[in-house]
Chain A
Amino acid sequence: MASGTVAVVRVAPRASRGLWGDAWRRLLRNRPALLGFVFIGVFVGTAVFAPLLAPHDPGALYPPPPDASSGATGPYPPRPEHLMGQDLQGRDEFTRVVYGARISLLVGLGSVIFGVIIGGFVGAIAGAAGGRADNVLMRVVDVLLAIPGILLAIGIVAWLDRGLPQITIAVAVTNAPIFARLLRGGLLAIRESDYVLAARSVGVPTRRLLLRHMLPNSLTPIIVAATLALATAIIDVAGLGFLGLGPPDPRTPEWGTMLTDSTKFLRAAPYLIFFPGLAIVISAVGFNLLGDGLRESLDPRLKK
């Protein structure tokens, strides 16, 4: 889908604030994008200020409600001291959901940045070099894209062992081919464009041409795709956790892992599934809204 938006954006001759300034103003007028900012703000704010927001320690156990019968075990439903209830062992679910934002943000962002770097590197080489190198690299990308992403990620985690850095790499590698294709497509389109031909004809060196002229102009689709990829990365990370491939320390409050640990309480304690699930959805909605907004504002031809 995103590949359809590969666009050659040229700076309009009378643009008062340049490409980015225009885009920014358009973005601020885009209501869904602003809403996306709000959601992302909640998500990032929660992650950054987790220790201030969370009333408890994510790993610690807390006593059952005073009216619980003796010998009773968790989970316990929400009450004022524990807004989202307590899990089987008596941990505070609210605190865990709040700290979970840190994990999702770190791993999600890390995997997208890393994915853009790998994919961008491959795509830039393919797009700039063209010919045989392009052909070989793109066939590798085809092969990777033919493997269902989640299976590729599972395989990478199996290979590299459990842990948040490993999950970051796994999700990055599954995302990378998309970025590779995007950047290559953009570069190829620009390579043939008038201004590059013009620059080349006056003898601008290839390296300079690539860095100063071609890359910046192929960046917009990447920015849009990366924003949308943040949404899927958060979902993919949680998916790995849901399949039991989350971080090895069970105290790590990873949303997908929290969900999979609570499926056995679907009847008894649906709140243990509802809140982490809601947290994932809010973050994903935020990045999806912003991504769509960015696409519309960065590509002036796309009008609603």
Chain B
Amino acid sequence: MTKYIVRRLLGAIPVLFGLSIVLFAFIHLIPGDPATAILGQHATAQRIAEMREYLGLDDPLPVQYVDYLAGLLQGDFGRSFINNQPVLGEFLRRFPATVELTIAAMIFAVGVGIPLGRFAARYAQRWPDGAVTVLSLLGISIPVFVLGLTLQYIFAVQLKVLPASSRIDARLQLDLQTNFVLIDAWLHAGWTFDEKVDAFVDGVRHLVLPAIALGSIPLAIITRITRASVIEVANEDYVRTARAKGLTERRIDGRHIMRNAWLPVVTVIGLQVGGLLAGAVITETVFAWNGVGRWIVDAIGNRDYFVVQSTILIFALIFLMVNLIVDIAYAFLNPRIRYA
């Protein structure tokens, strides 16, 4: 097992390395000069030349790439051209917002999707199954921004029961320490327990709509896969045997069906995490969510080279790691699989 993990980790290196080259080449291909982005409208040619030199943009591209890579290996992700702040610092400040949203969306998708899938499987080919199928069809067919705006309209504008945007009520003046609102609520110095609870609840209220919007596609897919794999497993011989033995349905469900039906579900959950990071780009735009999603879109427009290169690289790293974790989880769930 350890050997397998090591091999997979080593296997990720060429992909990440290749990705760093592709990203570097790609972002430098896009026309537009970051020096003029910094200097603005009335910069003279001389000023632009000075700025390019200062930023190291005049070096040959391979030299720039090696410099960047050397920095990366020492944990230096470069500085943003727009505000001259280190990319890593800004990333770490924004990333928790995206992670918090992603986790909430995943909890929603898994927490609702698996029971829904099992429910549909139990009533396969009857109307509850049909209803769930229609729901999951809608889930993959509604764009995140359409669903997000719809939820905002219903719950914030019309019913006024949930906030339409941002992460927490500005009036609470929550101190950001970890940048996870739901954690910081408990860490805030000088608050009573009740105040902490209030802040936490407020954070959760702000999370609900964006999490549903972002989680809708994974929800639909997890529901489908759960349904399909439960139906498939339920027809296996050993389940029939168990039933013939007179085991209770509850026990069959827990011991025999779900244990085996989990396999494809876990795979899909892993695949969806990568999709969530991409979905966050649009969700964060709809809900004015201060995460990495919108930041990176702006950075591409601004030719903020280091921001784009580094954040996408980190995204990809997370994507690869999640896939690895999924494969390991797979092995644990299925004793028949042995990685060597």
Chain A residues proximal to chain B, CB less than 8 Å: 1, 139-140, 142-144, 146-151, 154-155, 158-159, 231, 235, 238-239, 242-243, 256, 259-260, 263, 266-267, 270, 273-274, 277, 280-281, 284-285, 288-289, 304
Contacts and interface: CB of A to CB of B under 8 A. Distances in A.
Contacts of B301: 158
B29 interface: yes
Contact of A239 (B29, B157, B277, B282): B282
7 contacts: A146-B319, A146-B320, A147-B316, A158-B300, A281-B141, A289-B137, A304-B125
B278 A151 contact: yes
Nearest to A284: B141
Contacts of B142: 281, 284
Interface residues of B, number: 49
Interface in B293-325: 296-297, 300-301, 308, 312, 315-316, 319-320
B18 A281 contact: no
Nearest to B133: A32
Interface stretch (B19-27, B168-176, B198-206, B242-250): B19-27
B312 A143 contact: no
Contacts of B271: 1
Interface of B: 14-15, 18-19, 22-23, 26-27, 29-32, 125, 137-138, 140-146, 149-150, 152-153, 157, 221, 225, 268, 271, 274-275, 277-278, 281-282, 285-286, 296-297, 300-301, 308, 312, 315-316, 319-320
B14 to A, nearest CB: 7
B312 A151 contact: yes
Given A151-B281, A243-B282, 18 more contacts: A139-B14, A146-B19, A146-B316, A146-B319, A148-B315, A158-B32, A158-B301, A159-B31, A231-B140, A235-B141, A239-B145, A243-B281, A259-B145, A277-B150, A284-B140, A284-B143, A288-B137, A289-B137
Nearest to B150: A277
Contact of A242 (B23, B282, B316): B282
Contact of B141 (A139, A150, A231): A231
A239 B300 contact: no
B29 to A, nearest CB: 6
A140 B31 CA distance: 23
Contacts of A159: 26, 29-31
Contacts of B274: 148
A238 B268 CA distance: 25
A289 B133 CA distance: 11
Contacts of B157: 266-267, 270
